[in-house]
Amino acid sequence: MRLYTYFRSSTSYRVRIALNLKGLSYEPIFVNLKDGEQKQEGFLKINSASALPVLETSDGRFTQSLAIIDYLESKHPEPSFFLLDVIENTKMKELAYAISTDIHAINNLRVLNYLSDELQVQPEEKTLWYCHWIDAAFEPLEHKLSELKGFKKLPFGKPTLFEIVLIPQVYNALRYDVEKSKYPRIMDIYNCCLDIEAFKNASPEIQPDA
């Protein structure tokens, strides 16, 4: 398999974690988002939406990180990112989607570029925007985690879709100096996952294109 990836792309980071958790090897193809390589003709032939990640497999070429993660789960069910108990699985997905859908789309590179290039928003206002939307999702998430019975550093007992999407988002939040003391449970989960090999090996700073 080939993964079109960029070290700081949080959706690529999700897929790197998922591939590592499943124990699947892949060839990384680096696309530099900062230099705008996603908008170049060569890459647009790969993904006309000019976005990462893209996974090339013997079954075809797939985009959208959550769809890719579903594909990996269907083809390689073990270890599973989901839970057998329907209620627990729904609670887990509730947390995962709050991160993967509510924050990511608003804080994506093309949105940030539009704010500065088209609306002439100043860098410090852009940072306010970024941190505002992280806090808007992390505050209720921290609250929900506090309501889970007997909070554990892996709240669902194993790495799930929730941790796969949360860890890249925490990495982004820390880059923007979001006040981490407000989020003790989120930080516990983050630190716990960074001790797991599959998460460690997916970390942005150790990718060859970092």
Ligand X SMILES: N[C@@H](CCC(=O)N[C@@H](CS)C(=O)NCC(=O)O)C(=O)O
Instruction: Establish if 107 lies at the interface with ligand X (CB under 6 A).
Output: no
Beta strand pairing status for 54-57 and 2-5?
antiparallel
Residue with Cβ nearer ligand X (33 or 166): 33
Instruction: Establish if 167 lies at the interface with ligand X (CB under 6 A).
Output: no
In the region spanning residues 120 to 159, those forming contacts with ligand X, defined by CB under 6 A, are none
- State how far the Cα of 74 lies from the Cα of 125, in Å rounded to an integer: 42
- Taking the complex as a whole, the smallest distance from the CB of residue 135 to ligand X amounts, in Å, to 20
- Taking the complex as a whole, the smallest distance from the CB of residue 9 to ligand X amounts, in Å, to 4
Residue with Cβ nearer ligand X (21 or 99): 99
Number of residues that bind ligand X (CB under 6 A): 15
Instruction: Establish if 9 lies at the interface with ligand X (CB under 6 A).
Output: yes
47: three-class secondary structure by DSSP: coil
Torsion, Cα of 81, 84, 90, 94 (10° steps)? -20
Q: Among the candidate windows 46-54, 87-95, 174-182, 197-205, which touches ligand X by CB under 6 A?
A: 46-54
Cis (ω within 30 of 0) for the bond into 168?
no
Which amino acid is it at 183? Y
Answer for the pair 66, 40: CB distance below 8 angstroms, yes or no.
Answer: no
Is the torsion defined by CA of 70, 74, 77, 83 positive or negative?
positive
With CB under 6 A as the contact rule, the residue among 21, 55, 62, 65 that binds ligand X is: 65
> Nearest to ligand X by Cβ — which residue?
110
**Using CB under 6 A as the criterion, which residues of the chain lie in contact with ligand X when the complex forms?**
9-11, 33, 38, 50-53, 64-66, 108-110
